[in-house]
Structure 1
Amino acid sequence: MSYKNEIVTSANYVTRPKEGSFHLADHHGVTVKTNQGNEYLIHSTPGSGVVVTDTKHMSKNWNVDHSIPVKGEKTVHDIHKSSSGRTTNPLINYMSSGTCINTAKNGEKALKK
């Protein structure tokens, strides 16, 4: 995919209420803006594992929790890889990445490194 080599220029930690009638915590993710002017959401779901999605497809329910300082030169792929679990099986990837919360926290750590 073409986004993989785009350089991250800014980032935000974002949350939204989980969908459905029962949830204990919000859904977490990281949005990144790139040197190409594109914006992506990096987040994790039980059905897909850790994914990169164009922010054009985000619902209006997402809110910026805080901005993340970007240290050094990092690509979207670097952050995706740092956020991901340890397998290509979506459910195991979701669990081994620590669900959406740790996926977002791992992405934030990678951006600050």
Structure 2
Amino acid sequence: MFSSNMLLSALTLTLLAAVGESSIGGGGTPNRNYDLSGPALTRLYNSPVYKAERMKRPLEGTSFVLGPLSHSGVRVTLRDGTRWLIHKGGNYGISSQTVVTDARHMSPGWTIVKTADFEGRKTVSDFVAAGGSDYSLIFDNCHMGSNRMMKQ
């Protein structure tokens, strides 16, 4: 488990930077009126994941998904039924390029590729760590990160 200090110093910025960027594809000025911090953020990152769905959506400016010409991430479901999208991209976060966003802000373009039951054995922070902190279009992109998240 992560301590409050570790989460606040490293992960608050990740969530704050991600919120508002995942639904349409990133960029622009994020809407931050639903940011989490302090104890709420610590609870989220320490929350057990019960279900994970690897998902894809078209790249920004396109209307189709064609293999790697798409964006992917993992939508996790927690015990309380809330769902969060964990995904990575260039300049998505500040301390990490793998970020967490409330799934309510996902566009309808996302489709489920694979589903797995984790039965609470992994936490949100485990998924973020599996996604990786760095982003590289060729060597560590969203598809590689979401595949690692599903294989833990």
TM range (shorter): 0.7 to 0.9
Number of residues paired by the alignment?
Answer: 102
CA distance in 2 between counterparts of 1:50 and 1:94 reads: 8
1:71 deviates by: 6.1
Gaps of 5+ in 2: 1-40
TM-score, normalised to structure 2, is: 0.61
Structure 1 stretches of 4+ with a deviation exceeding 4 A read: none
Cα deviation, 1:22-63, whole Å, max 9, x if unaligned, reads: x96110111100012210111111111110111011111000
Gaps of 5+ in 1: 86-92
CA distance in 1 between counterparts of 2:120 and 2:105 reads: 28
Point out the more displaced range, 69-78 or 54-63. Answer: 69-78
Partner SS for 1:56: helix
Partner SS for 2:88: strand
Give me the identity figure in percent: 30
Cα deviation, 1:57-111, whole Å, max 9, x if unaligned, reads: 11110001121232661111111111113xxxxxxx112971100010010111x
What residue is the counterpart of 2:49 in the other structure? 8
Partner SS for 2:148: helix
TM-score, normalised to structure 1, is: 0.80
What do you get for the CA RMSD once the two structures are aligned?
2.0
User: Higher relative contact order by CA 8 Å / sep ≥ 6: 1 or 2?
Assistant: 1
What residue is the counterpart of 1:19 in the other structure? 60
